[in-house]
Each structure stands twice: as C-alpha cells, then as structure tokens.
Chain A
Amino acid sequence: QQPVQSPQAVILREGEDAVINCSSSKALYSVHWYRQKHGEAPVFLMILLKGGEQKGHEKISASFNEKKQQSSLYLTASQLSYSGTYFCGTGDTDKLIFGTGTRLQVFP
C-alpha cells in the first residue's frame, strides 16, 4: 500500500524550515527518502532502519517512529538547491513503494 505524504506542496523563502511527513497503514521496517529535481532521476538522501532513529545529511534530517508508522523529513535553513519533489519509500524487506510525493519550491 502506498504511503501518504503531507503536505503535497510547500513554498519557502531561502532560510526557512520545512517538515515533510510520510505515513503508512502497514508496519514499517525501514524508510527511505529521495529528492527528484525536475527532469532528473530521484537521488537518495537517507535511509532509516530503526524506530525512533534520526539521521542527518547536512541541514536535512529525518526521524522514524515505528509505532506510529510515520517518518518525517526536516529541512533546516532551506537553500535554493533544496527545490524538488521529495519521496519517501517504504516496504518489507525487499519491495520499495514510494509515497505520493511532496513538491518543495524555495525562492530567494
């Protein structure tokens, strides 16, 4: 079943923060996060393998709550380069199903 992301779209000014949420109706064993820029392939950001674990990548971090079957992606002090569509990916040990996507636009 496809995870649901919220919000569907976010518009930010440079330097502002944003949170993107990913919820699943099924138990989560791992959560992936990817960013896709317009006309390009998705690029890996991070993977979370344990409940409650937080990982970071520069000013982008994420949390994973197994019990709530949710993950959140935190973008701090956003930069123009953060613009793109963000996808979470969840699944069992092998198959990876991506969420509905969140389109993020950062303006100067």
Chain B
Amino acid sequence: GAGVSQSPSNKVTEKGKDVELRCDPISGHTALYWYRQSLGQGLEFLIYFQGNSAPDKSGLPSDRFSAERTGGSVSTLTIQRTQQEDSAVYLCASRRTVGELFFGEGSRLTVL
C-alpha cells in the first residue's frame, strides 16, 4: 500500500481480555517500530524490528506485551490480560534501514 496501515483503528475491550493490533508497513521497508502514546503524552518506544535480526524488545512495559513480525512484513502487537493503564494510541512506523519514519494512523485502545 501507499502508507503504513494499522487495524483496528479503534478497539474497546474489557479488562482482562487479550487484544491484537496489526500493522502493515510500507512495501520494501525493512525496519518496523511500535510506539505507545497515552493521552496528551509523548511517544513511548515499545519494540523495533530490523530485517531478520532479533527484535529490540527493550521498551515493552511488561511480559503481557509481545509482538511478532511475519515474513519481514506484517506485524502484530499482542496485549494479554489488558489493564486500564494499557489504554492509549498504539502507533506503528516503518522505514528503510535508515532515514525518515513513516507512521500509521494508530490504533486507539480503550480498556474498560
């Protein structure tokens, strides 16, 4: 596609349920990032994938969070046993190895 695509754009879930957020990066982009943005806050780094290298998971806030990237393209961020503090916009971005980051429109997660 022309840009980074994220789905769902909005997700409302109950506390304790698992959620999956999907990111489809720009074709040919080898680097893929996930960030979290709580209301009125900055961009919190979560995880980074580069090609076939092991991902940098240093930003994941707890073991309830995990992410995969299949075939070097689509990525899924999974949050298990969601908590209210997980409510935020989850942004995905991709780029060629270096240079400008292209962001998706984000997935807004609300945990009731």
Contact = CB atoms under 8 A, between A and B. Distances in A.
Interface size class for chain B? 20 to 34
A97 B50 contact: no
B103 A96 contact: no
B100 to A, nearest CB: 4
Contact of A41 (B48, B58, B91, B100): B91
B45 A98 contact: yes
Contact of B45 (A43, A95, A101): A95
A94 B58 CA distance: 13
Interface string B68-112: 000000000000000000000001000000111111111000000
Interface string A68-100: 000000000000000000010100011111111
**Secondary structure of the A contact surface, majority rule:** loop
Given A32-B101, A42-B43, A44-B100, A98 B35 contact: yes
Nearest to B95: A96
Given A32-B101, A98-B35, A41 B45 contact: no
A47 interface: yes
A47 B101 CA distance: 10
B105 A94 contact: no
Nearest to A43: B103
Given A32-B101, A94-B48, A41 B106 contact: yes
Contacts of A42: 43, 91, 101, 103
B104 A98 contact: no
A96 B101 contact: yes
Contacts of B91: 41-42
Nearest to A2: B42
B65 interface: no
A32 B68 CA distance: 26
15 contacts: A2-B42, A41-B91, A41-B103, A42-B101, A42-B103, A44-B100, A44-B102, A47-B99, A87-B42, A94-B31, A94-B48, A94-B56, A95-B58, A96-B33, A100-B42
Interface of B: 31, 33, 35, 41-43, 45, 48, 50, 56, 58, 91, 98-106
